[in-house]
Amino acid sequence: MFRALADPTRRVMVERLCHGPASVSELARPFDMSLPAVVQHLQVLEGSGLVRTRKVGRVRTCAIDTGALSLAEKWINERRTSWERRLDRLGDFLAEAEPDQGV
């Protein structure tokens, strides 16, 4: 998941897909890069669960699956709040240990 977002090209692709679905060649347009390269990035995104694709006729349509996005968001949020809780406890401890130093 994070590995998928680690590449700038893939992040731009995700940003693009957040504005709506797109075909492979639409996705490829902004990049100065061969189609197979774009498809490879797409496979990484799909493998990470960030993007779902469906082929109808000869055109493959891609859309983001925000489920994966919110999973990553959740992970980050958990770590952050874990750290902030720690800071709170530390604050309590300091307040208890040296109450005359409190604000």
Which residues contribute to the site for a copy of itself (CB under 8 A)? 2-3, 5-7, 11, 14-15, 17-20, 64, 66, 69-70, 72-73, 76-77, 79-80, 82-84, 86
Residue 15 interacts with, from a copy of itself, DNA, none (CB under 5-8 Å by kind): a copy of itself
- Residue with Cβ nearer DNA (11 or 85): 11
**Residue labelled with tokens 């960030």:** 50
**Which residues are CB-contacts of 18 (< 8 A; sequence separation ≥ 6)?**
64
Q: How far is CA 1 from the centre of its chain?
A: 7
Question: What CA–CA distance (Å, rounded) separates 62 from 19?
Answer: 12
Q: Name the residues that contact DNA, by CB under 7 A.
A: 3, 6-7, 9, 23-26, 32-37, 39-42, 44, 55-60
